[in-house]
Amino acid sequence: MTSEGKVKYIKVVLNLPLNQSFAYKVPAEVSSRVKIGGKVLAPFKRKILSGFVVDKIEREQSRGNLKEIIKVMKDFPPLSNSFIELGKWISDYYYCSLGQALHSIFPIQETFRIQRSKESERKTSAGQKFGKLSSRVGKNNESVFFLKEKGVFLFKTEDNEKRKSLYLPLIKKTLERERQVILIVPEISYLPILEELIHSYYEGEIAILHSRLSSKQRYEEWCKISRGEVWLAIGTRSAVFAPFSRLGLIIVEEEENSAYKQIEVPRYHLRDVAIKRAEIEDFSVVLFTASPSLESWHRAKRGIYKFVEFSRNDSKSRQVRVIDMRKEKDRIFSLTLEEEIEKNLEEDNPVLLFFNRRGFANFLLCHECGKVPRCPNCDISLTLHLNGKLTCHYCGYEEKAPRVCPSCRGSYVRGVGLGTEQLEIEVKKKFPKACVRRGDLDIINSSLLYKKLRSDLIEKKIDILVGTQLIIREEILSCIGLVGIILADGLLNLPDFRAGEYLFQLLTKIKRLMKPQGRLIIQTYNPTHYTIEALAGKEENFYEREAQIRKDLEYPPYLHWVRILLEGKIKTKVEETAEVLREKIEREGIEFLGPAPCPFAKIKGKYRYHLVLKDKNLSSIRQILEKKLNPLFSGIQGVRAVVDVDPLRTM
Ligand SMILES: [Zn+2]
Ligand SMILES: [Zn+2]
């Protein structure tokens, strides 16, 4: 073998939606610094872009008019082979370019001067820093037992305290084996509690990774991890890319949470990326859940995940009561809920009244029998429009809103669309002496207002809190003894096939997080719906029934869905494009839904239409996208096409 020759040319992938690499000349003086996976700056059209080196060419070739790279970013250690492999998988599976995938694995743009931690500190092994934990962990070894085998585990427990006592031994055991750990949570708000919990047992440093870090902080954490100075990282979605070289375990908290699906390119799902990374680097993944996603439930049933259920520690279970609103004649609060609120106010116990976000999509509800008209093809709720029409947002089916209920012939058929502000007014009227507060977007987005809300709750300065999904958080619910769901039908009838699953998971979460001995009162016009019945009874019934419906209607997890969203300022143009796509797809002989307007038919001045391709096999959809549709996407002026593989929200 000859010694390594000089690199003459490199191939680079850029952060652009172009699935190809570009060749550049390498100036002789930087040739030795060019590495596969390394970051470079390169000219592209009239811009300078960052890119990753994916190939080196050493032999002399006449490559006349190639441009030279501008800079080799020597402060960035090159991406490991396993990250490049993971990037290739993301690019392939989620239909984005390799450049986009690699840039999301390594999102750092600039470097900073970072002080290294002292040498002496690094000598103690991470496992030993768990000294104080032994007393608690010693007794609770059930979780560790399962890690004797490798694989993906789905740990189900409804007990909030217990699940935490399961993490710690898992982390300890892995660190003792000289392997590193990543613990991932759905939202930033979970991090402080978790950090505090782990720190009370673990003396070592913890890297914290989330989207609100400054570039300097991000770089700092990244350096500490890649230098092996930190062995444990906790964070949100992107923490899955923490550059540990000896990773031994990824723990995912609340695997069913939809925040794990990235909205922007690459539109990956954290769970699947974590599992892929584990496969490449050969370690285990533990998914925690109280109510698994249908996807995970399905995989556990088929033995792809190892399913382990842990029983509750606390016997004080929260009570669930379902109120049939058909018998309550136009009331917002049923008599039962009213009495319970009064009782809690007397006992100085804060109450939470839940209402889902203001009805953007109204639906038609028969107040006598509780039925909501659904699409005959897709079984999702039809959306009521101002022109008196009901439409299906999957297939485009349309009908005139009936005056009498098709189900019971009753004539009390109305649209539903009460909002939180209106609810707040009603609550104040009904309970004039109570201190009522609204937990809305403004409060959640401001850390100052949010802190005030929490301290007021703890100091019992709030009697009734009115809010949406946004305030369903551990810190808030742990102060609450009574939760009233004003109208479960609002969530049950979202125009999305996962509506039932979301409602089930949300209410299970409320049940899990509220005070022990608390009460959950669910008001609904549809008390016999299997989702509602399973909440108060046997959970497994929900999964079995839901799975059957998904199977019959060819919904995920039984088929893959790929959603194509079209957006544009001119409505007719978007519609025309949708039609062109429809014709193309029809010729391919693949199953699809639409085109239909999205439930959010217009956002920020842009009209939105979507189509859904369905197949057991993603590769056949990918071929159609690649060969037939992609050329179309780039050719349409004024219309943007977004491809979402395994979409979670279809609104
Ligand atoms: Zn009816
Ligand atoms: Zn339909």
Smallest-distance ligand from the CA of 367: 1
User: How far apart are the CA of 413 and the centre of ligand 1, in A?
Assistant: 7
Only one residue has tokens 């533990």, namely: 286
User: How far apart are the CA of 540 and the centre of ligand 1, in A?
Assistant: 29
* pLDDT computed for residue 516 by the predictor: 84
Whether the ω angle into residue 373 lies within 30 degrees of 0, i.e. cis, is no
- DSSP letter for 628, please: I
C-alpha–C-alpha distance, residues 288 and 292, integer Å? 8
DSSP reduced 3-state for 535: helix
* pLDDT computed for residue 400 by the predictor: 93
* pLDDT computed for residue 2 by the predictor: 41
Q: Which secondary-structure segment (H or E) carries 49?
A: strand 47-57
* pLDDT computed for residue 491 by the predictor: 87
Asked if residues 241 and 278 have their Cβ atoms less than 8 Å apart, the reply is no
* pLDDT computed for residue 339 by the predictor: 96
Smallest-distance ligand from the CA of 553: 2
C-alpha–C-alpha distance, residues 632 and 579, integer Å? 12
C-alpha–C-alpha distance, residues 370 and 524, integer Å? 8
Tokens of residue 102, six digits: 């690699």
User: How far apart are the CA of 320 and the centre of ligand 1, in A?
Assistant: 26
Q: What is the pLDDT of residues 480-532, one digit of tens each?
A: 999 999 999 988 988 899 999 999 999 999 988 888 888 999 999 999 999 99
- Reported for 620-624, long-range contacts at CB under 8 A and 24+ positions apart, including other chains, are 620/590, 621/560, 621/562, 621/590, 622/92, 622/95, 624/585, 624/588, 624/590
Which residue ranges of the chain lie beneath pLDDT 50? 1-3, 120-121, 135, 137-138, 359-360
Query: Smallest Cα–Cα separation from 510: which of 543, 474, 546?
Result: 474
Half-sphere exposure of 176 (CA within 13 A, CB side): 11
C-alpha–C-alpha distance, residues 50 and 562, integer Å? 30
User: How far apart are the CA of 363 and the centre of ligand 2, in A?
Assistant: 14
Query: Smallest Cα–Cα separation from 178: which of 245, 94, 269, 242?
Result: 245
In the structure, ligand 1 is a single-atom ion and the residues with CB under 5 Å from it are: 366, 368-369, 371, 405, 407-408, 410
User: How far apart are the CA of 242 and the centre of ligand 2, in A?
Assistant: 42
User: How far apart are the CA of 411 and the centre of ligand 1, in A?
Assistant: 8
Beta strands in 185-317, from DSSP E residues, in sequence order: 206-209, 232-235, 247-252, 284-289, 306-309
In the chain, DSSP finds a helix count (H) and a strand count (E) of 22, 27
User: How far apart are the CA of 375 and the centre of ligand 1, in A?
Assistant: 16
Beta strands in 569-646, from DSSP E residues, in sequence order: 591-603, 606-615, 639-645
User: How far apart are the CA of 574 and the centre of ligand 2, in A?
Assistant: 20
C-alpha–C-alpha distance, residues 13 and 54, integer Å? 7
User: How far apart are the CA of 402 and the centre of ligand 2, in A?
Assistant: 17
User: How far apart are the CA of 593 and the centre of ligand 2, in A?
Assistant: 8
Beta strands in 290-420, from DSSP E residues, in sequence order: 306-309, 319-324, 351-354, 363-366, 383-384, 389-391, 398-400, 413-416
C-alpha–C-alpha distance, residues 224 and 611, integer Å? 44
User: How far apart are the CA of 381 and the centre of ligand 2, in A?
Assistant: 9
Smallest-distance ligand from the CA of 410: 1
Smallest-distance ligand from the CA of 599: 2
C-alpha–C-alpha distance, residues 34 and 74, integer Å? 9
Query: Smallest Cα–Cα separation from 52: which of 119, 93, 98?
Result: 98
C-alpha–C-alpha distance, residues 207 and 231, integer Å? 8
Query: Smallest Cα–Cα separation from 559: which of 489, 621, 507?
Result: 621
User: Taking the CB of residue 460, how many other CB atoms lie within 10 A of it?
Assistant: 12
| Nearest-10 Cα torsion for 635, 637, 638, 640 | 10
Smallest-distance ligand from the CA of 596: 2
C-alpha–C-alpha distance, residues 627 and 629, integer Å? 6
Task: List the beta bridge partners of residue 561.
Answer: 614
User: How far apart are the CA of 412 and the centre of ligand 1, in A?
Assistant: 8
* pLDDT computed for residue 357 by the predictor: 61
